[in-house]
Amino acid sequence: MLSDKVLKAILEYLNLEENEEFGIEASKYMRRINKKGIQVYIPSSDGWSSSAYLNELLLGKVKMIKLPFVPELNEAYYVSDVTSPQLFYKITNYNTQHDEHRITSNFSFRTKVEAIEKSKKILEFLNREAELNETY
């Protein structure tokens, strides 16, 4: 069992929520982290069971694959937006066509920090492209 303090530190370090499902590059099975530690879901088994890889995740020896955030109906979420001065906006999921597009395009995020990080990556890419085009 993980203490609340250790669990909070691990989740913060890995940028996860408790019980948020994620993949690992070397495995086809989903995992999650909670007070019981890291768990794996194997469809042919009886639900979630203990798993290895926590140390490897923390040390960067295996790559975590985060799943796109899918907000529940009427749940607020953050959207990456490079045209906005704050680089994000907050919106509520009403399951509209626009919500579906933002979610399937990986522009929906649980936190504004994640949305801002995505916007910054996009802007960095666009700036590199612009610099390359200027040199040719």
Write the pLDDT tens digit of every residue in 18-54.
Answer: 999 999 988 889 999 999 999 999 888 878 988 888 8
Task: Tokens for 49, please give them.
Answer: 């069971």
- Residue 136: pLDDT band (50, 70, 90) is low
Ranking 31-45, 93-107, 122-136 by mean pLDDT, the lowest is: 122-136
Strand intervals (E) in 25-114: 30-34, 37-41, 48-50, 64-66, 76-80, 88-92, 108-109
Q: Give the per-residue pLDDT at 6.
A: 93
Q: Give the per-residue pLDDT at 135.
A: 65
Q: Look over the chain and give the mean of its residue pLDDT values, rounded to a whole number.
A: 90
What residues does each domain of the chain span? 4-66, 76-135
d(CA 125, CA 58): 28
User: Among 88, 92, 87, which Cα is nearest to 79's?
Assistant: 88
**Does position 89 have pLDDT exceeding 70, yes or no?**
yes
Q: Give the per-residue pLDDT at 87.
A: 96
